[in-house]
Amino acid sequence: MTENGRPGTAVVTGASSGIGAEYARRLAGHGWDLVLVARRAQRLAELAAGLRERAGTAVETVEADLAEPADLDRVAERVAAEDVALLVNNAGINGYGPFAEVDAALLTKVVDVNVVAPTVLTRAAVPAMLARGRGAVINVASLLAFAGSLPPGVLPHRAVYGGTKGYVVTFTRTLAAELAGTPVRVQVVCPGLTATEFHLGTGETPVRGERRVHDEGGMPAADVVTASLAALATGEVVCVPGLEDADAVERLAAAELALRQAAGTAAAPRYRAAEVPDL
């Protein structure tokens, strides 16, 4: 708690709907002051007004497109402020579509929002948190981070999106190991299909109109946030909200260890052929 008895300030990106808006509501209800970041100023204003009225919390809004360097710099400056004790990197876009057909500029934006922004904002937050002796970062990824070899069909065309979420998972796990023993906690939450607006567009522009949920349905955003905050309290670095077998994450780590043990000075026999393949 801070001197005024409140937990501090939480910055939530992608706060205008879905999981981000639910983090905002939940944190406000627990006494957090908020900085809400998104592209849709009107949505942010409406959410902020409701939170101030219901929870009596201080709420700042920042209209920003995290794919734009100037906007990202503005948000990073706010994240680095001494009052920020929690950063929720929730903003993300999907850029779904066959890789050879999706506009290259959109794919660049996916990388900027899903990879560059959380990296820059986490780097802005962590030094001040370490200096103060408290703080946490929650990065929102996706179960599609683990779906690399599965073909599209039921799943979307997602080569770049899945790659960016794989980065978020690896980045968070590695950073958590680096910060082990410090008072700063880091978590990655990996929801499956969630009942939000996410599938109503590719992310090139914000979803217009009233709040609504894509037809595919999925887990309620409130359940995702409940799982994330519970896992943060118990120190789980990788939170998969619908996963009942908690040991699955440990088995993943064991499989990774087996792969790393294959590092050596000679290639495996099956790779020693001298032929150049026909293409």
* Exposed e or buried b per residue across 73-92, where buried means at least 16 C-beta atoms within 10 angstroms of its C-beta: eebbebbbeebbbbbbbbbb
Contact 183, 176 (CB under 8 A): no
**Closest listed residue to residue 55, CA positions, set 86, 35, 37, 30:** 30
**Closest listed residue to residue 92, CA positions, set 26, 167, 146, 8:** 167
pLDDT of residue 276: 81
pLDDT of residue 100: 97
* pLDDT tens for the chain, residues 1 to 279: 555 667 899 999 999 999 999 999 999 999 999 999 999 999 999 999 999 999 999 999 999 999 999 999 999 999 999 999 999 999 999 999 999 999 999 999 999 999 999 999 999 999 999 999 999 999 999 999 999 999 998 899 999 999 999 999 999 999 999 999 999 999 999 999 998 877 766 766 766 655 666 667 799 999 999 999 999 999 999 999 999 998 999 999 999 999 998 887 788 888 887 788 888
DSSP state string for the chain: --TTSS--EEEEESTTSHHHHHHHHHHHHTT-EEEEEES-HHHHHHHHHHHHHHH---EEEEE--TTSHHHHHHHHHHHTSTTEEEEEE-------S-TTTS-HHHHHHHHIIIIIHHHHHHHHHHHHHHHHT-EEEEEE--GGGG-TTSPBTTBPP-HHHHHHHHHHHHHHHHHHHHTTTSSEEEEEE---SEESSGGGS-SSSPPPSS----TT--EEHHHHHHHHHHHHHHT-SEE-TT---THHHHHHHHHHHHHHTT--SS--GGG---PPPP-
**Closest listed residue to residue 13, CA positions, set 86, 81, 105, 102:** 86
The rounded distance, in Å, linking the Cα atoms of 203 and 198 is 8
The rounded distance, in Å, linking the Cα atoms of 166 and 43 is 29
pLDDT of residue 214: 61
- Domains observed in the chain: 9-246 (3.40.50.720)
Residue written as token pair 């950073």:
175
Measure Cα distances from 204 to 42, 75, 95, 263 in Å. 18, 20, 7, 41
pLDDT of residue 240: 98
pTM of the model: 0.93
pLDDT of residue 272: 84
> Which entry of 23, 96, 161, 167 is annotated as an active-site residue?
167
Does the annotation mark 271 as catalytic?
no
